[in-house]
């Protein structure tokens, strides 16, 4: 089985993402697929003996979208070209729309109604075919596969208003004028719908770049080139000088020797061969804060391990590469954040089910709106009936509904990464706010073992000297208790040692001489009493309890087993990140609720106004198709901008 986050091109609304997800999950060999609209990615798990990424790409192409599975295709370049093309279309669409509006409003006199309407028809047709072409192409492809999206609504609304206007241009006098009915053309409405939708998507794309800034910041830690050591060159006088060649990072292999100077990022994971600085002849200082969160530079000498993305703050060093490319710790962190941002919280799956039915329901509401006004007013009300139906198609927006949850989660997970909290899936971020009981392992989690102590003879040395309390551990526990979390410490140590460290950190609930199964049993007992339980640990002996807990948190310096099992990983030793995670979860879920509330309210209020229902009560209030398109674009943008407020809160 293979798991990969695959970029998706062409999605613009929640229904688009739902269609891509449904299509991927229907492909034989695909075990699961989760599509994220804000990140424009699909997290896919598949059996490579049954299906290939190229097969998936062909299936997705058939419904109007694209998967970037080729190694030589740059997602950044595709997005840059798409943004440039979209900006050009927006400018042309605005220019053409203003021209059409000036013609239809009579601001420009072209010598008569017929010539004005025919000119407006030509300009509008050019805008629809060039600026709006993708709406019609994707809508047709989706129709042939019995799916629908926001493209369907835009294609229907603009197509209906344009065709009705074209009909009036050539046969308006014969059909309507002969019956004494005043008629108009609505080319301005059709082109303004395209213009506002494209403008909204342009602004949304611009704002969306900020939601992915955490990933870009992590990616920016890896340099593009490295200084490769090629050996030494002997001069005529016998002096030897090192031969250093600057090469692309992609050419570095395990075993290569690389030199890194002060101020440069270390390009790969490696082991130091030698290091020197003005402060010490046999060591250099490396800033690891972006990986571990620890503010003080760490002294690295021969034999020390260094990580890609960290910075040599003083001196210079030469290292032997042990992990390169996608195998480095930084690359694994990036993958973890990308997959977490692409994962879905439980509430999002409910919203996805609603979004799948949203477009068909809106199409039915539009048809009912048309039939209602036609039945009330007869032929004379036909223009009003058509415009009301078009307004309903345009204003009903599944985009805001679909963006409400994933955009907030994407920003929240990115903020967590900035605070050195790595979250594996969105469920953990949503759930940790409910935690009211926390089980914490002692050694390696609350305390740092003394490397000079022989732990096989631990019962023979004073326990006060055996380990050191981690910085801010007591402060973190006090904050958790203030937030209403009941903290339990579990230790395999003897009773005296466990009691001593529990008192040092301010924990009243503790157990000593526990086995792995005892930690698991405590988690079970707390859950049975109705608690939402988080487990914090760093060792293999914590993995059973980590797997059982409602939320599992591993220390970044812990074992690979603990980190693999855990839903969250804390980089470094600062336990204050645990209450920070709870606070971030509360803010993120609060933002999701705000977004969903306004998305639902928007549709509940605007659809009846677009349908003209207040007129039935004698209130002259209705939203035109042009205003409907502007409001629809604003609703999507407002969700993204509201989610970005999470970044302002730190």
- What residues are labeled active site? 441
Place of tokens 């490295």: 226
d(CA 524, CA 488) in angstroms, rounded, equals 13
The two three-digit tokens of residue 382, written as one number:
């036909």
Close Cβ partners of 118 (under 8 Å, ≥ 6 residues apart): 169
Element (H, E) at 514: none
Share of the chain residues as helix, strand and coil, in percent rounded to the nearest 5: 55, 15, 25
Tokens of 414: 């990115």
Say if CB 421 and CB 570 are below 8 A apart. Answer: yes
Calpha distance 191→158 (Å, rounded): 7
State whether residue 8 is helix, strand or coil.
strand
- 8-state DSSP, 496: H
CA distance 488 to 490: 7
What sign has the CA pseudo-torsion 563, 565, 569, 574?
A: negative
Strand order of the sheet with strand 311-314? 298-300, 284-287, 311-314
Helix (H), strand (E) at residue 336 = helix 329-342
Tokens at 421, concatenated: 């909290």
Q: At which residue do the structure tokens 């040395």 appear?
A: 461
Tell me 471's DSSP state: T
Could you tell me which residues come within 8 angstroms of residue 264 by beta carbon, excluding any fewer than 6 positions away? Answer: 223, 311, 312
Question: CA triplet 344, 45, 555: central angle to 5 degrees?
Answer: 60
Helices (H) and strands (E) in the chain, counts: 23, 22
Encode 309-324: b = buried (16+ Cβ within 10 Å), e = exposed: bbbbbbbbbbbebebb
Residues in the chain: 650
| Count of CB atoms situated within 10 Å of the CB of 440 | 26
Q: How far apart are CA 625 and CA 320, in angstroms?
A: 65
Cα–Cα distance measured from residue 116 to residue 114, given in angstroms and rounded to the nearest whole number: 5
Please tell me whether residue 285 adopts helix, strand or coil conformation: strand
Residues 544/522, Cβ–Cβ less than 8 Å = no
């Amino acid at each position: 089985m293979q798991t990969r986050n695959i970029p998706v091109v062409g999605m613009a609304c929640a229904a688009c993402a739902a269609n891509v997800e449904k299509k991927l999950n229907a492909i034989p060999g695909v075990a699961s697929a989760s599509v994220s609209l804000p990140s424009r990615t699909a997290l896919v798990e598949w059996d490579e003996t049954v299906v290939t990424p190229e097969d998936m790409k062909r299936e997705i192409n058939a419904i109007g979208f694209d998967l970037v599975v080729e190694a030589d295709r740059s997602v950044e370049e595709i997005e840059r070209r798409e943004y440039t093309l979209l900006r050009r279309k927006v400018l042309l669409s605005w220019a053409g729309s203003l021209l059409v509006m000036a013609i239809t409003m009579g601001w420009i006199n072209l010598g008569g109604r017929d010539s004005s309407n025919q000119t407006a028809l030509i300009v509008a047709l050019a805008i629809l075919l060039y600026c709006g072409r993708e709406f019609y192409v994707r809508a047709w492809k989706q129709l042939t596969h019995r799916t629908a999206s926001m493209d369907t609504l835009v294609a229907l609304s603009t197509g209906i208003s344009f065709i009705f206007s074209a009909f009036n241009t050539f046969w308006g006098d014969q059909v309507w004028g002969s019956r004494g009915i005043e008629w108009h053309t609505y080319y301005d409405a059709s082109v303004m719908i395209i213009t506002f939708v494209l403008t909204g998507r342009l602004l949304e794309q611009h704002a969306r770049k900020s939601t992915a800034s955490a990933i870009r910041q992590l990616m920016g830690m890896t340099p593009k080139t490295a200084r490769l050591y090629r050996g030494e060159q002997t001069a005529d006088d016998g002096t030897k000088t090192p031969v250093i060649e600057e090469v692309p990072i992609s050419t570095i292999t395990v075993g290569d020797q690389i030199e890194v100077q002060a101020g440069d990022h270390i390009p790969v994971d490696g082991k130091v061969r030698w290091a020197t600085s003005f402060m010490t002849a046999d060591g250099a200082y490396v800033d690891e804060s972006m990986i571990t969160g620890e503010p003080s530079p760490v002294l690295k000498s021969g034999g020390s391990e260094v990580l890609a993305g960290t910075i040599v703050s003083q001196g210079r060093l030469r290292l032997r590469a042990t992990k390169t490319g996608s195998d480095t710790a930084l690359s694994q962190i990036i993958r973890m954040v990308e997959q977490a941002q692409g994962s879905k919280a439980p509430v999002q799956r409910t919203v996805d089910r609603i979004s799948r039915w949203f477009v068909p329901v809106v199409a039915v509401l539009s048809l009912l709106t048309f039939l209602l006004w036609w039945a009330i007013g007869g032929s004379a009300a036909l223009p009003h009936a058509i415009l009301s139906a078009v307004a309903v198609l345009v204003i009903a927006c599944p985009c805001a509904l679909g963006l409400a949850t994933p955009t907030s989660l994407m920003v929240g997970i990115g903020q967590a990464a900035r605070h050195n909290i790595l979250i594996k899936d969105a469920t953990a971020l949503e759930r940790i706010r409910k935690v009211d009981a926390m089980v914490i392992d002692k050694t390696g989690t609350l305390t740092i073992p003394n490397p000079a102590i022989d732990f096989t003879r631990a019962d023979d040395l004073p326990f006060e000297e055996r380990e050191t309390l981690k910085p801010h551990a007591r402060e973190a526990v006090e904050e958790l208790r203030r937030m209403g979390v009941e903290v339990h410490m579990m230790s395999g140590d003897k009773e005296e040692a466990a009691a001593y460290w529990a008192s040092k950190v301010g924990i009243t609930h503790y157990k000593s001489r526990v086995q792995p199964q005892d930690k698991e049993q405590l988690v079970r007992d707390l859950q049975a009493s109705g608690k939402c339980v988080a487990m914090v640990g760093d060792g293999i002996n914590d993995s059973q309890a980590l797997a059982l807990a409602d939320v599992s948190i591993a220390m970044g310096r812990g074992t690979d087993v603990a980190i693999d099992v855990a839903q969250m990983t804390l980089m470094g030793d600062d336990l204050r990140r645990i209450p920070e995670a709870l606070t971030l979860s509360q803010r993120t879920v609060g933002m999701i609720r705000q977004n969903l509330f306004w998305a639902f309210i928007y549709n509940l209020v605007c659809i009846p106004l677009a349908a003209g229902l207040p007129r039935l009560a004698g209130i002259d209030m209705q939203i035109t198709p042009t205003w409907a398109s502007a409001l629809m674009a604003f609703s999507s943008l407002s969700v993204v901008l509201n989610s970005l407020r999470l970044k302002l809160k730190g």
